[in-house]
Structure 1
């Protein structure tokens, strides 16, 4: 097949790798509108389960990503001025630029053409004219999707809280949070390392806090100065870095997260992938993982050349929409937890942090936080008894049968 991929993010590049591995005779081109090395964001987070899937798809790129990643196991939260620690599963971070470079190098090694600074403006573009398959991996503002938005059934909802992506030279060895109360309300930060030199910081607050602190009016330099003071104990005196300082072009922008869904994921021979198809709130750290899983699912759907492309694309969309239900639900409840943060800040810090880990629960918004915490602790104490009962059950039944 002749395959044209619009968008050189992780999902588009990884899909090109998978398809070349399936059939080296595929003619594959990836078009990316930005210069090579220019990307938004800072670090990418993922969990061990993703590495297992990537190793099955392409061991070489998986090992390169693993080698370039940093890892952590603990979560740390500073609430007002009190620090608390939560033990958790291993998480991983890698610089987005680094990940893109590794995937682009691997794609080229396999014979994929990767063309930067080459925008594809819509479905009528000449680059698409004779493609057997077009993959729209061109992000949340996908031009290919927007041209047929009614067909795809695109829906977008905007979150309440403004947020901004920043970097810092403070290298975190745990996934860290800081919650600060100001005279205008709460403001908080998520931070995680992605290399031996830098970390990502995502700052979020309610709209009243944002305007009350003047963050809606300050330029980037003054905003960074204010945020460095607010989160000084988290940063240990290290500076925050904006996009201008990072070589990202425009100053860092405060945004409102847009949750995007599509009822259908293909139109003719064009398939949506990654943020062009779906977005999940950044607070669950799953965006890149889900895009890579899209790539794996789309390549699997296209593995049998006897299956018509349209049939394969329809199967891909059905599969991924079903698989995404749990992640989209978790993201929705996570975003709502932060939008209702004051509800949980009356708890002592350790209890608040425990409920932070429960923010995906559909029950939590409807049960008083203190009561939910006690019920959750009681359930944890009962779980060993449940496991013992499950273990004993078959053995008791066999003993009765023998008797």
Structure 2
């Protein structure tokens, strides 16, 4: 089979690796419009479950990924001058640049052609049996057939900016700072021996009240460094050479993921809010599912239908978690009135569909009790999805 993958991000590169391992005779080219070694972003996160999946599919690239990652088990929360540390699952961080280096080297070693500075527009599709649109949330290939795919983009409320820092956090770090214009907060995690990612978010009124909508990049970063001095320990915040704009997160949903021999992969197919840290994991899992479907079904239409059905089902709980996580931050004052230990506990419960509909203090007490009583655990598992379905149905009805 001749495969053209448009987009040299993690999803496209990993798919090319898996397809070459399944059948070395596949003719695979990955087209990337940017020069090799140039990438956006800082570090990405993933969890042990993804690494286990990668070891099963391609041990060599998984070992390199594991060796190039940093790890943490703790979470640290800062609210004003209060700090709490708690243990959790092991997290992993790796620089996006290093991740792409590893996957590109492995793909080349297997015989994949990597064509950098190769712009593929919607009117110049490559001659191939399968064309994979792995060209991100702004996918030109998807946009050409947006009506067929049923593409829907929904903008979030809060502005955010994705920065780096030379401060190396020793845990996944949350910091909430109160200003005269409302709260502003950051998420920080390490991804290398001398760098961390630091994502800053706030409500629109806080953003404009602090003047971040009017400030230059340098002025804005200087203000953020002052606001988060308690966690940065004098280290600077870093922007990208080409500019690091504030933006609002866009949730992307497509009604269908394939059109003829064209199939969507990764952010071209779907996005989930960054606060659950699942973007890279979902992209790689898309590649795993598509490679498996192509292996199991000789006919391309059946393979693409199988891939779409499987991944849509797998995404349902993730999308729900991402939606409620984003809403938790959009309604942050509701939780910051709690005693710190309770607020921190509900931070860990922000994916729950039940939490927005129960007074926070009551939810905290129920959650504590549910940890000890099996009937209450069963009640939470039963009522949460029912509330989620009701809210979803009402939202659909309102749109109609």
Q: Same fold (TM over 0.5)?
A: yes
From 260, 267, 277, the equivalent of 1:275 is 267
Contact preservation (8 Å) 2:154, 2:250 = yes
SS in 2 for 1:303: helix
* Counterpart in the other structure of 2:350: 359
Where in structure 2 are the equivalents of 1:4-403 lying within 5 Å? 4-122=4-122, 124-125=123-124, 128=126, 130-244=127-241, 249=242, 251-304=243-296, 307-383=298-374
CA distance in 2 between partners of 1:34 and 1:185 (Å): 39
State whether residues 252 and 271 of structure 2, in contact with CA within 8 Å, keep that contact through their aligned partners in structure 1. yes
Cα distance in 1 between the residues matched to 2:54 and 2:203: 37
- For structure 1, the 5+ residue unaligned runs are 388-403
- Distance, in Å, in 1 between the alignment partners of 2:239 and 2:376 is 51
Structural RMSD (CA): 1.3
Q: Tell me the SS of whatever aligns to 1:201.
A: strand
CA distance in 2, matches of 1:241, 1:384: 49
Cα distance in 1 between the residues matched to 2:172 and 2:81: 17
CA distance in 2, matches of 1:5, 1:139: 12
Please say which structure displays the higher CA radius of gyration: 1
With normalisation by structure 1, the TM-score equals 0.92
Partner of 2:396: none
- Measure how far apart 1:384 and its partner are: 11
**1:77/1:118 Cα in 2 relative to 1: closer, same or farther (>3 Å)?**
same
Paired with 2:228 and 2:374, the residues of 1 have a C-alpha distance of 38
* CA shift for structure 1 position 313: 0.4
Aligned length: 378
1:257 Cα deviation from its structure 2 partner: 0.2
Q: Secondary structure of 1:119's partner?
A: coil
Structure 1 distance, partners of 2:124, 2:51, is: 36
Task: Report the Cα offset of residue 347 of structure 1.
Answer: 0.8
Shift in CA distance, 177/386, structure 1 to aligned 2, threshold 3 Å: closer
User: CA shift at 1:307, angstroms?
Assistant: 2.0
Q: Which secondary structure does the structure 2 equivalent of 1:238 belong to?
A: coil
Deviations 1:263-282 (A, max 9, x none): 10100001100000000000
CA drift at 1:383: 4.6
1:311–1:14 Cα change, 3 Å? same
Q: Aligned to 1:302, what secondary structure does the other structure show?
A: helix
Q: 2 CA distance for matches of 1:171 and 1:386? A: 38
Q: In the aligned structure 2, how far is the partner of 1:25 from the partner of 1:71?
A: 37
How far 1:385 sits from its partner (Å)? 11
- Closer/same/farther in 2, CA of residues 311 and 300 from structure 1, 3 Å limit: same
Q: For the Cα contact (< 8 Å) 2:160–2:201, is it kept in 1? A: yes
- Superimposed CA distance per residue, residues 297-334 of structure 1 (whole angstroms, 9 cap, x where no aligned partner): 00000004x62111100110011001100000000000
Q: For structure 2, which runs of at least 5 residues remain unmatched after alignment?
A: 379-400
TM-score normalised by length of structure 2: 0.93
Residue 386 of structure 1: how far off its partner (Å)? 8.3
